[in-house]
Amino acid sequence: MYSAFETEVRIRPDDIDLNNHVHNTKYLDYVLAARYDQMINNYKMSMDEFWKLGYNWVVSITYIEYKRALTLEDRILVRTQVDSVNGAQCRVNFWILKKENRKAAAEGYLIYTMISTTSGRPVRVPDEVIERYSV
Amino acid sequence: MYSAFETEVRIRPDDIDLNNHVHNTKYLDYVLAARYDQMINNYKMSMDEFWKLGYNWVVSITYIEYKRALTLEDRILVRTQVDSVNGAQCRVNFWILKKENRKAAAEGYLIYTMISTTSGRPVRVPDEVIERYSV
Amino acid sequence: MYSAFETEVRIRPDDIDLNNHVHNTKYLDYVLAARYDQMINNYKMSMDEFWKLGYNWVVSITYIEYKRALTLEDRILVRTQVDSVNGAQCRVNFWILKKENRKAAAEGYLIYTMISTTSGRPVRVPDEVIERYSV
Amino acid sequence: MYSAFETEVRIRPDDIDLNNHVHNTKYLDYVLAARYDQMINNYKMSMDEFWKLGYNWVVSITYIEYKRALTLEDRILVRTQVDSVNGAQCRVNFWILKKENRKAAAEGYLIYTMISTTSGRPVRVPDEVIERYSV
């Protein structure tokens, strides 16, 4: 069982679309921004460190259910949790929560694939990484 | 059975990320751009016309499988096809194809929900719209 | 003489471009995000309040000098200061500072024009607004 | 005297902001997209070729005057023209024109600085490059 982590992400005016709501595609940008922070602050293993070890995480699949519109006034928390690691792949579940009532504005998952930067091919997620993720 | 339509979308320098590839979240922007054009050119029913009738399409679910990286040099076609219409919802399948060899850089689907702009609530997709989509 | 205000803005992965730096056009998005916050927190007059009074600020001119590249690891402060108000126009100077050493990554100015939302035309900035800006 | 070139750029739904207009910062993205195309098609010297020669163009200054709002329905042409080359710097003037009447939606200039990718420092623009730009 993997821990869940939460990161506040600030909505910017350039994220808002012609419906006066956060544009659909920005939700995933918020999740990626939160994961980036959580890799540094929670897993203590930044993307930089991955690159130095010759690994890269690429996004293979994204699934998002949009539940509530977000506006420029909303404060949001991005909650993510590793669901499982299988071979070269890691599934991360996420929820974008309104800060005031913790209601989900969106939820979904990402499937990441670990790539060797030398071969450019998928590689089994090393035990060392799984350990770091098991905080 | 609904027709498939293809639209060329141009990759812009601001779509490229630190891996020198089109950023994950831009793929969906390309699909939305293609749908916008196809509503005008293929369904002959622009978003504007929907708004005037008191309807709005909102995106409820997005699912994307990333298959091949895209670079600034790539030319792409976005192919979309209505899969089915059920109640207030419409599922649209899509493929992002490399123009030179028609290989899929990504594929997935969007679930749109039709909303009444007066009530703000989902409404059954009117037969008139289904007809337009049955070109 | 108008006060200067500073707001921390967080760099997101989707702001980074193919040179591994914050993309040129994002700098202005950071300034606009900071101004949005400062209108609420420092001038106590949000964009929403402007709209309710029948006014809108539109950007007429932007000038930016890029001085130092920014990376995803950088922490930044956006400092802005009203320079002058003339008729319908307001000039705001800005500096994007690296938080660790307060060196400028960029500096420049924005000329905003006040528009009446009923006529769509420029209107003299009301004394009431100038007063709020004179904190 | 340097030639002017024009490139059509397509406005995308994700470029539109809460005022139903193209967002301020996207104008510069359109100019950069046009320049990228013009380097390939008009100057016959792509950014890739610059990189291979050990050079990179970085943007040092941008100045934009916004003259007319753009909407998702508008078709636009980006016209650019090298104004002058001085030492390591090159000034490029630009106009964003509405295709239907050639009225300017915006105009401005960019100052690019040529950087050696080995030293990371500005270098005098080589005669070979000036020649290519003198088409």
Q: What is the pLDDT of residues A29-55, one digit of tens each?
A: 999 999 999 999 999 988 888 888 899
User: Is residue D71 within 8 angstroms of chain A, CB to CB?
Assistant: no
Among residues of chain A, what percentage have pLDDT more than 70? 100
Q: For residue D51, what pLDDT is reported? A: 86
CB D113 within 8 A of CB D57: yes
Mean pLDDT of the C14-21 span: 93
Would strands C104-116 and C55-66 be described as parallel, antiparallel, or unpaired? antiparallel
Cα of D93 to nearest chain A Cα, Å: 26
Domain count for chain A, please give it.
1
**Which chain D residues contact residue B13 at CB under 8 A?**
29, 32-33, 36
Burial B14-24 (b: 16+ CB within 10 A, else e): bbbbbeebbbb
**Which chain B residues contact residue A63 at CB under 8 A?**
61-63
**Which chain B residues contact residue D10 at CB under 8 A?**
9-10, 33
Write out pLDDT tens, residues C84-114.
999 999 999 999 999 999 999 999 999 999 9
Residue B135 confidence class, pLDDT cut points 50, 70, 90: confident
Q: For residue D12, what pLDDT is reported? A: 97
Q: For residue C83, what pLDDT is reported? A: 97
**Mean pLDDT of chain C, nearest integer:** 95
Long-range contact set of residues A84-89: C-beta below 8 Å, sequence gap at least 24:
A85/A125, A85/A130, A85/A133, A87/A122, A87/A124, A87/A125, A88/A113, A88/A114, A88/A115, A88/A122, A88/A123, A88/A124, A88/A125, A89/A60, A89/A113, A89/A114, A89/A122, A89/A125
Question: Which CATH number belongs to the domain containing residue D124 in this structure?
Answer: 3.10.129.10
User: Is residue C18 within 8 angstroms of chain B, CB to CB?
Assistant: yes
Write out pLDDT tens, residues A60-111.
999 999 999 999 999 999 999 999 999 999 999 999 999 999 999 999 999 9
Determine whether the interchain pair B59/A24 forms a contact, defined as Cβ–Cβ distance below 8 Å: yes
3-state helix, strand, coil in chain B (%, to 5): 25, 40, 35
CB D96 within 8 A of CB D117: no
Report how far residue D70's alpha carbon sits from residue B80's, in angstroms, rounded to the nearest whole number.
Answer: 27
Burial A10-20 (b: 16+ CB within 10 A, else e): ebbbbbbbbee
Q: For residue D19, what pLDDT is reported? A: 87
Q: For residue C50, what pLDDT is reported? A: 85
Cα of A127 to nearest chain D Cα, Å: 38
Mean pLDDT of the C56-69 span: 96
pLDDT of D47 over the 90 cut: no
Q: For residue D123, what pLDDT is reported? A: 96
**Would the ipTM clear 0.90, i.e. be above it?**
yes
Cα of A66 to nearest chain B Cα, Å: 5
Determine whether the interchain pair D72/A18 forms a contact, defined as Cβ–Cβ distance below 8 Å: yes
pLDDT of C27 over the 90 cut: yes
Cα of A71 to nearest chain D Cα, Å: 10
Write out pLDDT tens, residues B42-83.
999 888 888 888 999 999 999 999 999 999 999 999 999 999
Which positions ≥6 away from D129 have C-beta within 8 Å?
A: D45, D55, D114
Residue B19 confidence class, pLDDT cut points 50, 70, 90: confident
User: How does DSSP assign D65-92, residue by residue?
Assistant: EE-S---TT--EEEEEEEEEEETTEEEE
Cα of A63 to nearest chain B Cα, Å: 4
The two three-digit tokens of residue D25, written as one number? 């910062």
Among residues of chain C, what percentage have pLDDT more than 70? 100
User: Is residue B52 within 8 angstroms of chain D, CB to CB?
Assistant: no
Least confident range of B22-26, C59-63, C129-133, D25-29: C129-133
B74: phi then psi, degrees, rounded to nearest 5: -70, 145
Determine whether the interchain pair B26/A25 forms a contact, defined as Cβ–Cβ distance below 8 Å: yes
**pTM of the predicted model as reported, rounded to 2 decimal places:** 0.95
Q: For residue A128, what pLDDT is reported? A: 87
Mean pLDDT of the B1-5 span: 94
Least confident range of A63-72, C6-15, C44-53, C124-133: C44-53
pLDDT of B87 over the 90 cut: yes
Residue C12 has its nearest CB partner, among A33, A72, A73, at A33
User: Is residue A72 within 8 angstroms of chain C, CB to CB?
Assistant: yes
Q: For residue A66, what pLDDT is reported? A: 98
User: Is residue B24 within 8 angstroms of chain A, CB to CB?
Assistant: yes
pLDDT of D122 over the 90 cut: yes
pLDDT of D108 over the 90 cut: yes
pLDDT of B37 over the 90 cut: yes
**Which chain B residues contact residue D48 at CB under 8 A?**
73
Q: Which domain holds residue A111?
A: 4-133
CB A62 within 8 A of CB B24: yes
User: Is residue D18 within 8 angstroms of chain A, CB to CB?
Assistant: yes
Distances (CA, A) of C129 to C33, C41, C45: 20, 15, 9
